[in-house]
Amino acid sequence: MARSKTIRVTPNVKKCLEELRVVVKALPEGDLKKRAEGALNYLSSTFKGQAQPGKGRHCPVRTSIIR
């Protein structure tokens, strides 16, 4: 693991996020879509430099990502 806690968001990483958003929009309504949207929102906020819950040491409990 890198010593730096900085995540470098390169153009190819941004493009991957855009592609995932398209795929999630195509999912039928339901739990899987809700969880996928939550994961994308979490990644988006991280890419924007917002602090992660618990400083990113563990997955956020009781969110649309982890139950």
List, as one string, the DSSP characters of 4-60: --PPP--HHHHHHHHHHHHHHHHSPSSHHHHHHHHHHHHHHHHHTTPPPGGGGSSPP
Containing structural domain, residue 49 = 11-56
Q: Would you say residue 5 lies in a domain?
A: no
For 15-24, write each residue's pLDDT tens digit.
Answer: 999 999 999 9
Question: How many domains are there within the chain?
Answer: 1
Q: Which of 27, 19, 33, 20 is nearest to 64 (CA)?
A: 33
Q: Would you say residue 19 lies in a domain?
A: yes
Q: What is the rounded end-to-end Cα distance, in angstroms, of the chain? A: 26
Q: What is the pLDDT of residue 67?
A: 45
For 30-60, write each residue's pLDDT tens digit.
Answer: 999 998 998 898 888 888 887 776 666 666 6
Amino acid at 58: H
